[in-house]
Amino acid sequence: MLRRLLFPLAVVLLLGQMAFAMVTTAVEQSPTIDEPVYVSTAEVYRQQHIVLYNPEHPPLAKLVMAAGLAFTHAKLDPGFRGNQTQLGRHLLYETGNNPFRLMLAARLPMIVLTLLFGLVVFFFARDLAGRWAGLMALALYAFSPDVIAHGSLATLDVPAAGLLLTTFWMLWRSRERPGLYLPLAGVALGASLATRMSALPAIPMVLLLVLLSPAPWVLRRLGGAVRSSGGVAESGQVVPSGGRLRAAVARVRSGAGWREFGLRVVAAIGVGIIAAAVVWVVYLAVDPRLRWTTPAGLPHPGGLRGLAVDLLPLPKAYRDGVLIQFKFESETFNGFLLGRAYQGSLWYYLPVALLIKMPLGMLALWVIGTLTLLAKRTLRVASLYLIAPAAVLMLVAMTGARDYGTRYVIFMPMFFAIVASTVVLTRVAWVKVAAVLLVVFVAVSSVRTFPYYLPYSNEAFGGTANTHNNLHDANVDWGQDLARLATHLRQRYPGQPVWLSYKGSGVPGYYGIHAKNPTSVPIDQVHGLLVVSDSRVALASGRLKQLIDTSTPIDEVGYSITIYRRP
């Protein structure tokens, strides 16, 4: 009896430590740059039932946030007029609401979703390679610093990636029970599309898998054909070889090939219809009247991209949101990688950022798991459900215009946790031992960065304390440490003059930080503490760079804000 309880207890402990890490992070961090926009938009959905703000992102995850916000009874001026950034500041800091309470209420549903996706990782890996694989995959997921960091925020990246993973898990299961799992795959795909438009490239992959995956009745008929052809049995299954296999396949195809193809086409269309229906339902849940006005001056790209958007069988607000995303992608943004600031985007940014941000043991297990998956003949088909979609989504993300963080590829530690878990099927004992040690290494590396998961980087790149020298923005400094800074200044530097250059959505004065802008006066007037967000340090130029170069770093806060002394 005790032995049977140990395994579920291990699952509970892994998810429990992850929940503790995420809740602790959620409680301690001030709003990141994107969160106020999402949270305030969610409150508009809840109170005003209209899609008005943040149309470039679909509503589903924000509706989940609204479910948490419903318990806060937040005040929002119905006559407010301003852009979405101003709306976020208005809700959190200008209407008498408690921003700590609002942010925690919005973050908690995201934490619950992240934990549920951990169960998806566990069961997907278990279906693929057994329960020990499931436990290993869950351990890699539960100790992933990036998943913990972004899973504890009221943002869209983890929900969209988790729903995509769920989609491919349902497709994997549909190989045995298509009548049950194909509709669920459609629901999961639609939910991902209704969360973030970055899920759109997954549509062709999903439909192709519906068309190409082997159906159970085909396998049964193939088995019957093989038996009549004199095939041999292996592990309870009939496995032919050489010409007998080709003859068996030909016999099956000759009898039902076209009918099978027709059924698959119908199934693929059905999955697509269900996914589209889910998106419509989400928009209708926000506003049953579907009120929406296209923003003035929104450019239409024309050509194939424009035609593809026009043909999407989705609400007008969704299609205009895609056009807004295209507009963003046509702009030029600042980037920072390995100590170098630049304009535009680098095609290799995301692969290098992953090398920096993923634990070393995890990277090693990704490689070993991939080799195992491809080497095992019986597992090779699983690469179509794990490696292929992750690779395609990665390649699409690499073409993006914004080099802002590994959050754009947060699906990688999810999909590849399952890929890595297939190493338990290897027959080489030392490989299994090495895999266990690597999992432990991942866990130790993750625990060591607690509770500073957002700026994590692995030991090969100097660890969490050195991330700001290699990366910026959501990789290290997303404005999350303003409250910590306030506490730090009160405890260590009471009464000292403070000059602050902060990049974030928080309002310093709310937290008791009374500071001046160091770039608003001549350089020789700046004396005392110069406090600078590390994202600003990375891209510093002009007067701010002169100030930093002539100051002495004396302290840091949360591995995302540097404090300098300026005489």
Helix ranges (DSSP H) in 130-177: 131-142, 145-151, 157-174
Q: Does residue 342 sit within a domain?
A: no
Q: Does residue 222 sit within a domain?
A: yes
For 233, phi then psi, to 5°, come to: -100, 145
**Last residue of one domain, picked from the residues 286, 311, 343:** 286
Look at the chain and report how many structural domains it folds into: 2
Mean pLDDT of 498-520: 94
Q: List b or e across 524-554, with b for residues whose CB sees 16 or more CB atoms inside 10 angstroms.
A: eebebbbbbbbbbbbbbeeebeebbeebeee
- Answer whether residue 434 shows pLDDT above 50: yes
Sign of CA dihedral 456, 457, 458, 461: negative
* Separation of alpha carbons 168 and 313, rounded Å: 22
Residues 335-362 pLDDT 10s: 999 999 999 999 999 999 999 999 999 9
pLDDT of residue 257: 65
pLDDT of residue 256: 56
- Alpha-carbon distances, residue 32 vs 218, 454, 548 (angstroms): 51, 11, 24
Residues 451-497 pLDDT 10s: 999 999 999 999 999 999 999 999 999 999 999 999 999 999 998 99
Q: Which letter does DSSP use for residue 379 in this model?
A: T
Mean pLDDT of 15-31: 97
pLDDT of residue 245: 44
**Last residue of one domain, picked from the residues 286, 311, 337:** 286
Mean pLDDT of 85-99: 94
Q: Does residue 397 sit within a domain?
A: no
Residues 295-330 pLDDT 10s: 988 998 888 888 999 999 999 999 999 999 999 999
Q: Does residue 471 sit within a domain?
A: no
Listing DSSP states for 487-536 in one string gives: HHHHHHSTT--EEEE--SSS-GGGGT---B-TTSS-GGG--EEEEEEHHH
- Answer whether residue 258 shows pLDDT above 90: no
Residues 161-196 pLDDT 10s: 999 999 999 999 999 899 999 999 999 999 999 999
Nearest to 467 by CA among 532, 546, 538: 538
Q: How far apart are the first and last CA of the chain?
A: 69
Sequence-ordered list of residues with C-beta below 8 angstroms from that of 157, at least 6 positions apart, any chain: 150, 196, 407, 408, 410
Provide the domain limits for residue 252.
216-286
Q: Does residue 365 sit within a domain?
A: no
pLDDT of residue 1: 62
Q: Does residue 98 sit within a domain?
A: no
Label residue 110 by pLDDT band (50, 70, 90). Answer: very high
Q: Does residue 183 sit within a domain?
A: no
Give, for 563, the enclosing helix (H) or strand (E).
strand 561-566
Q: Quote the mean pLDDT of the chain.
A: 91
CB 53 within 8 A of CB 40: yes
Q: Does residue 512 sit within a domain?
A: yes
**Last residue of one domain, picked from the residues 243, 262, 286:** 286
Give, for 293, the enclosing helix (H) or strand (E).
none
Residues 196-252 pLDDT 10s: 999 999 999 999 999 887 554 444 443 444 344 444 333 333 444 445 445 544 544
Label residue 373 by pLDDT band (50, 70, 90). Answer: very high
Residues 527-561 pLDDT 10s: 999 999 999 999 999 999 999 999 999 999 999 99
Give, for 302, the enclosing helix (H) or strand (E).
none
pLDDT of residue 16: 97
* Separation of alpha carbons 7 and 205, rounded Å: 34
> Does the bond joining 451 to the residue before it have cis omega, within 30 degrees of 0?
yes
